[in-house]
Structure 1
Amino acid sequence: MSADVEAELKDLAATLAQVESVMDLEALRAEVASLEEEAASPNLWDDPATAQKVTSRLSYRQGELRRVSELRQRLDDLAVMYELASEEGSDDLKAEADNERAQLANDISALEVRTLLAGEYDDRNAVVTIRSEAGGVDAADWAEMLLRMYLRWAERHDYPVEVYDISYAEEAGIKSATFKVSASYAYGTLSVEQGTHRLVRISPFDNQNRRQTSFAHVEVLPEVEEVDHIEIPEKDIRVDVYRSSGPGGQSVNTTDSAVRLTHIPTGVVVSCQNEKSQLQNKAAAMKVLQAKLLARKQEEDRAELDALKDSGSSWGNQMRSYVLHPYQMVKDLRTEHEVGNPTPVLDGDIDGFLEAGIRWRKEQQIAASEHIG
């Protein structure tokens, strides 16, 4: 084993040890044992909602424990692989060990990033809204491209997605879309995507083939749970019903099943048209409204902290550029993370940007706490 390989294995071992310390494996095993006891109760399913939470939590925590245990075993096995390759003088076995080392480094890094998600709502499902902004029809098309990018990302990870509402633009693309990604830490992971995304390209809608810059905004909220106590009095909500519509504005059903909710005190408006009944659409829209009002409450709670930050660090500012012409590049303006080929990124390969964003946010939080101190 070369000195460089030996040094890298020591670094991987140190990183994994740090991850294991942060995850507190003893406490994790104790929690799994407690959840297994709850799940084994014959009365568990008397309350389906509680039962679902217990079984989902158990499955997730078992997965976390298995994941870190497997990484430790792989790291131990890797050292043995290198010893065998050296003893037998096998180039094939060494090449196999090199490939496993690269993959193991990626997997340990991904788990390390997960340990950085320690916010109050980070472990929840994510409610994402995309809106077209400046740029006319190109912006509407860009918003639809972003919608596809996030749906493809979720598909790559086998995360269930529920689309609540899509508002189609007249000529092409969408005005807005709202969807939910159901996965542990979906909110913590996707929240770094919040902000304005800029696209530069030759417009497919311009007969003179001119370059066009267009913008779309991404909003990411945690799904509201019963413990959040976001009560909304009926008198504070205006309910409008209408027929669902598809591309071009054509009606896609013959009943007024789509629902629009307006929160009168704040002016927040949400809509849902993708469920089968008006009642289901109202329930889904209410979840989104609660998530938005929870986000407003969060913003008020951290207003003092935000006042101490430089305006340039606001997540609401332009945060990423996607350039298709005159050169090709996707660059995050906060983290400086960039790739030279936009195609896989637009096809959902955004994990590198998510990881860089999570690390950047943690650095910002540490800097802010030091500034306050």
Structure 2
Amino acid sequence: MAADFSVVLDELDTTLKSIEAVMRVDDLRREVAELEQKAAAPDLWNDVEAAQALTSRLSYLQGDLRRVEELRSRLDDVGLLHEMAAEEGDEATTAETERELQSIRTVLDELEVRTLLSGEYDAREALVTIRSEAGGVDAADFAEMLMRMYLRWAERHKYPTEVYDVSYAEEAGIKSATFAVKQPYAYGTLSVEQGTHRLVRISPFDNQGRRQTSFAGVEVLPVVEQTDHVDIPENEIRVDVFRSSGPGGQSVNTTDSAVRMTHIPTGIVVSCQNEKSQIQNRAAALRVLQARLLVVRQAEQRAEMDALKGEGSSWGNQMRSYVLHPYQMVKDLRTETESGNPSNVLDGDIDAFIEAGIRWRRQQENAELN
């Protein structure tokens, strides 16, 4: 067993060295030190938005640095502890070091996936839009299930989210919803979730208890930053205001605070009704519109409509099936990743699917390069 332990230890050490090289740990330390110095400036919060962006990035980079440094320390320690336990014939400590090595392997695998996020916009926060597609009321219900799944996933990871707009269906579920995941690398991580999701189940809305197949679409966009220069002339935007509505069409408030924004040249329409203030809703709608226009602009520059959406996962392509009847199975149609526990998956346990999707995307990119 000692020989096996040594082999695994060497493999993990090689993997960690590769991760350290990709993450450029020395550069990371320097950037953290620079950001810490800026964060200590007495006038930092004079510009609240800039301060929030700086402290958010600092917190994320500190977390990255801490994870890789802790892994290096754990890997060095477990090797020494195993060696000492073997010399002393301490079987209990030997078993403990073997469990620790497996734990390190799990964390390393997760960190390795993070290093695969090197696309132009992968480090951005994400804007997620979910729409019900074919399947009537079941599709609207499924769209709401997917929205909850992603919000629960973010909650599990303690990622902040903000719901910008929910358009409720008449009978049940939602027609569409847009929300932000305000975490660095949320776009790179969630972009592999983009595409058409399929649900097969006994419809709770069919009084004859028949099996129903329904579809919902997931779109993921990178949040626009100031450096993107997505400027929209005032005369290209039409703004309509209306009262926010909840499930069943009920009015949420008594003022026209909700905002619908139309980009006249492209026909792109976005809305936001989450905030109580019309000004806040207008600002949020503008951010979503800028993100959509950024994707259009990049697509035009690259002469392919799905340039940012990833080969094989573009809007309209089926990418995952959720079967609740006649058997229980969630299966990714690209990576073959499966789970026999749809309840857990729909409760936000989707990390295995996301990680497999990120690895699959990198394989596709490498295949294209070759």
Scaled to the shorter chain, the TM-score interval is: over 0.9
TM-score (norm 2): 0.94
Cα distance in 2, alignment partners of residues 312 and 326 from structure 1? 32
Deviation at 1:60, TM superposition (A): 1.9
Question: Secondary structure at 1:171's aligned position in 2?
Answer: coil
Which position in structure 1 is the counterpart of 2:161? 161
2:260 paired with 1:253: no
Which position in structure 2 is the counterpart of 1:60? 60
Which position in structure 1 is the counterpart of 2:351? 351
Deviation at 1:43, TM superposition (A): 3.7
Cα distance in 1, alignment partners of residues 194 and 58 from structure 2? 30
The answer as to whether partners of 2:194 and 2:313 remain within 8 angstroms in 1 is no
Offset from partner CA, 1:175-226 (integer Å, 9 cap, x none): 1110001111011100110100001111111122211111000000011111
Deviation at 1:50, TM superposition (A): 3.0
Please give the residue correspondences for 1:176-195 in structure 2 after superposition, counting only pairs within 5 Å: 176-195=176-195
Cα distance in 1, alignment partners of residues 203 and 82 from structure 2? 53
In structure 2, do the counterparts of structure 1 residues 340 and 91 end up closer, same or farther at CA, with 3 Å as the change threshold? farther
Counterpart amino acid of 1:160?
P
2:312 paired with 1:313: yes
Moved more, 262-271 or 36-45: 36-45
Moved more, 155-164 or 202-211: 202-211
Cα distance in 2, alignment partners of residues 147 and 203 from structure 1? 19
Which position in structure 2 is the counterpart of 1:121? 121
Offset from partner CA, 1:304-360 (integer Å, 9 cap, x none): 5979xxx98243211111111111111111111111211111110111111111111
2:296 paired with 1:296: yes
Which position in structure 2 is the counterpart of 1:45? 45
Counterpart amino acid of 1:76?
D
Offset from partner CA, 1:30-73 (integer Å, 9 cap, x none): 22222223223334334333333332222222221111000011
Deviation at 1:262, TM superposition (A): 1.0
Which position in structure 1 is the counterpart of 2:25? 25
Moved more, 43-52 or 339-348: 43-52
Question: Secondary structure at 2:254's aligned position in 1?
Answer: coil
Counterpart amino acid of 1:313?
G
2:73 paired with 1:104: no
Please give the residue correspondences for 1:204-353 in structure 2 after superposition, counting only pairs within 5 Å: 204-303=204-303, 313-316=312-315, 317-353=317-353
In structure 2, do the counterparts of structure 1 residues 98 and 265 end up closer, same or farther at CA, with 3 Å as the change threshold? same
The answer as to whether partners of 2:299 and 2:305 remain within 8 angstroms in 1 is no
2:133 paired with 1:133: yes
The answer as to whether partners of 2:296 and 2:305 remain within 8 angstroms in 1 is no
In structure 2, do the counterparts of structure 1 residues 340 and 84 end up closer, same or farther at CA, with 3 Å as the change threshold? farther
In structure 2, do the counterparts of structure 1 residues 312 and 107 end up closer, same or farther at CA, with 3 Å as the change threshold? closer
Which position in structure 2 is the counterpart of 1:172? 172
Unpaired segments ≥5 residues, structure 2? none
The answer as to whether partners of 2:192 and 2:313 remain within 8 angstroms in 1 is no
In structure 2, do the counterparts of structure 1 residues 254 and 333 end up closer, same or farther at CA, with 3 Å as the change threshold? same
Cα distance in 2, alignment partners of residues 65 and 322 from structure 1? 37
Question: Secondary structure at 1:29's aligned position in 2?
Answer: helix
Cα distance in 2, alignment partners of residues 346 and 94 from structure 1? 39
Question: Secondary structure at 1:313's aligned position in 2?
Answer: coil
Deviation at 1:91, TM superposition (A): 4.7
Cα distance in 2, alignment partners of residues 81 and 138 from structure 1? 56
In structure 2, do the counterparts of structure 1 residues 253 and 47 end up closer, same or farther at CA, with 3 Å as the change threshold? closer
Question: Secondary structure at 1:253's aligned position in 2?
Answer: coil
Moved more, 31-40 or 150-159: 31-40
In structure 2, do the counterparts of structure 1 residues 304 and 149 end up closer, same or farther at CA, with 3 Å as the change threshold? closer
Cα distance in 2, alignment partners of residues 125 and 38 from structure 1? 22
Number of matched pairs = 367
Cα distance in 1, alignment partners of residues 143 and 64 from structure 2? 34
In structure 2, do the counterparts of structure 1 residues 87 and 21 end up closer, same or farther at CA, with 3 Å as the change threshold? same
Unpaired segments ≥5 residues, structure 1? none
Moved more, 102-111 or 183-192: 102-111
In structure 2, do the counterparts of structure 1 residues 144 and 363 end up closer, same or farther at CA, with 3 Å as the change threshold? same
Question: Secondary structure at 1:16's aligned position in 2?
Answer: helix
The answer as to whether partners of 2:162 and 2:180 remain within 8 angstroms in 1 is yes
Which position in structure 1 is the counterpart of 2:149? 149
CA RMSD, Structure 1 to Structure 2 (Å) = 1.9
The answer as to whether partners of 2:196 and 2:319 remain within 8 angstroms in 1 is yes
Deviation at 1:89, TM superposition (A): 4.4
